[in-house]
């Protein structure tokens, strides 16, 4: 199933004018706050009626302003996961979970309740009320409630933004399972590059109400045009394969035929892994460095150099068919005489890749 969206809406001081497609999988709407992400997802949900546009999931039309069609939210078959979970405080967890299923058409394809309870680990909470749940538990129940509504489209509006780091780490894997185990397309709003890197199969980048880039996650994240939006966590996503686990606690992975050593990963040899490498963790050398503690030396080619306004520069590298980003200083770019087309070595410390940036699939 593919979600296609084309919208125009004028708020006076701000206007939204976007078009994008979300193929099966998890599509992240990525952008700063104020870029129109939430407005856009609310329009898809039917909570906002845009001036003009068309929204459809395959040939099922949710909105077509030209034809005067506007399905109200309750007829859009959604599973909307909100930032603040929005559980009904007067109902028990069980009643919350079953709320959407009650309104779903009798013949609708449903997730089994037992499977959802198991997947989210919320079986023991059923008789409680939301007031007695922790933040992480509320988030999981909210995910379950959306899933059990038998949705044709799952929407998530920064579902992790209100959680602290520990809770985020607790909830992220559930979204990965959702992406991998549930066939329903997921539209996920986020301004966190790390979340994008871990979850996205497809990314739509928004800026001031316009789509400035869309495409497969690895492709978009390695694009320096996109990185000013989340400069702190600019980086690139590498598709890797686990080769072996070594006795000294390191795992050997292969990426585009080159070797990558990381602290022990949980995946078994042969499995594929997504590794997010932050641009600030990558050093560049014009000759193969020797007598250096960093374990990873990747042979790469410079594709483009983007000078920042300050002292920094972002170097876009190609590693076989993959992209890698390095954040260095302008002084280094000039001192080393870096230029597009040049072959250089990307240096990466094994320990600098955070555990949270390594994920299955």
Least distance in Å: CB of 48 to other proteins? 10
Shortest distance, CB of residue 5 to other proteins, whole angstroms? Answer: 17
Q: List the alpha helices (DSSP H) in 130-164.
A: 135-147
Give which of 43, 44, 63 is closest to 54, Cα–Cα. Answer: 63
Binder to other proteins among 2, 23, 51, 90 (CB under 8 A)? Answer: 90
Task: Based on the shown chain and the rule CB under 8 A, indicate whether residue 149 belongs to the binding site for other proteins.
Answer: yes
97-116 residues near other proteins, rule: CB under 8 A: 99-100, 102-104
d(CA 325, CA 115): 40
Q: Residue 152 interacts with other proteins (CB under 8 A)?
A: no
- What is the per-residue burial (b if ≥16 Cβ within 10 Å, else e) of 273-312? bbbbbbbbbbbbeeeeeeeeebebbbebebeebeeeeeeb
In terms of DSSP bridges, do strands 235-245 and 250-255 run parallel, antiparallel, or are they unpaired? antiparallel
Q: Tell me: does residue 154 bind other proteins (CB under 8 A).
A: no
Could you tell me the smallest distance in angstroms from the CB atom of residue 99 to other proteins? Answer: 5
- 266-295 residues in contact with other proteins (CB under 8 A) are none
72 binds other proteins (CB under 8 A): yes
The alpha helices in the chain, defined as continuous H runs, are 37-45, 93-103, 113-120, 135-147, 165-181, 193-199, 217-221, 330-336
- Whole-Å CA distances, 122 to 27, 28, 145, 300: 26, 26, 11, 46
Minimum distance between the CB of residue 352 and other proteins, rounded to whole angstroms?
40
Burial of residue 52, with CB atoms counted within 10 A of its CB: 0-12 exposed, 13-18 middle, 19 or more buried? middle
Q: How many residues of this chain interact with other proteins, rule: CB under 8 A?
A: 32
- Token couple for 170: 């607790």
Quote the least distance from Cβ 146 to other proteins, whole Å: 8
Identity of the residue, 131 or 321, whose beta carbon is nearer to other proteins in the bound complex: 131
Task: Reduce the DSSP state of residue 106 to 3 states and report it.
Answer: coil
Contact flags string 30-49 toward other proteins, x per CB under 8 A? ---------------xxx--
Closest of 81, 291, 88 to residue 174, by C-alpha: 81
- Of 141 and 221, CB closest to other proteins: 141
68 or 89: CB nearest other proteins: 89
> Which range binds other proteins by CB under 8 A, 124-132, 165-173, 206-214, 227-235?
124-132
Site residues for other proteins per CB under 8 A:
45-47, 72-80, 82, 84, 86-90, 99-100, 102-104, 129-132, 145-146, 149, 155
């Amino acid at each position: 199933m593919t979600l296609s969206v084309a919208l125009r809406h004028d708020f006076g001081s701000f206007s939204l004018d976007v078009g994008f497609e979300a193929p099966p999988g998890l599509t992240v709407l990525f952008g700063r706050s104020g870029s129109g992400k939430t407005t856009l997802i609310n329009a898809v949900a039917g909570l906002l009626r845009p001036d003009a546009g068309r929204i459809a999931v395959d040939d099922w039309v949710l909105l077509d302003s030209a034809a005067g069609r506007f399905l109200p939210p309750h007829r859009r078959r959604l599973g909307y996961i909100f930032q603040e979970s929005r559980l009904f405080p007067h109902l028990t967890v069980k009643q919350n979970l079953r709320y959407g299923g009650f309104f779903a058409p009798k013949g609708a394809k449903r997730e089994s309740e037992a499977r959802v309870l198991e997947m989210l680990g919320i079986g023991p909470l059923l008789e409680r009320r939301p007031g007695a749940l922790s933040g992480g538990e509320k988030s999981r129940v909210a995910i379950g409630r959306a899933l059990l509504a038998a949705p044709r489209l799952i929407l998530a509006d920064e579902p992790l933004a209100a959680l602290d780091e520990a809770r985020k780490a607790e909830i992220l894997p559930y979204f990965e399972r959702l992406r991998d185990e549930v066939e329903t397309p997921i539209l996920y709003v986020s301004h966190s590059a790390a979340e994008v890197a871990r979850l996205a199969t497809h990314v739509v980048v928004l800026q001031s109400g316009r789509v400035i880039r869309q495409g497969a996650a690895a492709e978009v994240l390695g694009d320096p045009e996109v990185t000013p939006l989340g400069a702190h966590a600019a980086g690139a996503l590498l598709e890797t394969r686990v080769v072996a686990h070594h006795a000294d606690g390191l795992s050997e992975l292969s990426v585009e035929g080159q070797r990558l050593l990381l602290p022990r990963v949980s995946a078994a040899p042969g499995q594929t892994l997504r590794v997010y490498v932050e641009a600030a963790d990558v050093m560049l050398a014009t000759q193969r460095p020797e007598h250096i503690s960093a374990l990873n030396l990747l042979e790469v080619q410079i594709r483009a150099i983007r000078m920042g306004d300050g002292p920094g520069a972002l170097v876009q590298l190609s590693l076989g068919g993959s992209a890698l980003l390095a954040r260095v200083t302008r002084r280094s770019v000039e001192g080393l005489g870096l230029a597009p087309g040049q072959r250089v070595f990307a240096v990466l410390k094994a320990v600098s890749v955070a555990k949270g940036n390594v994920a299955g699939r």
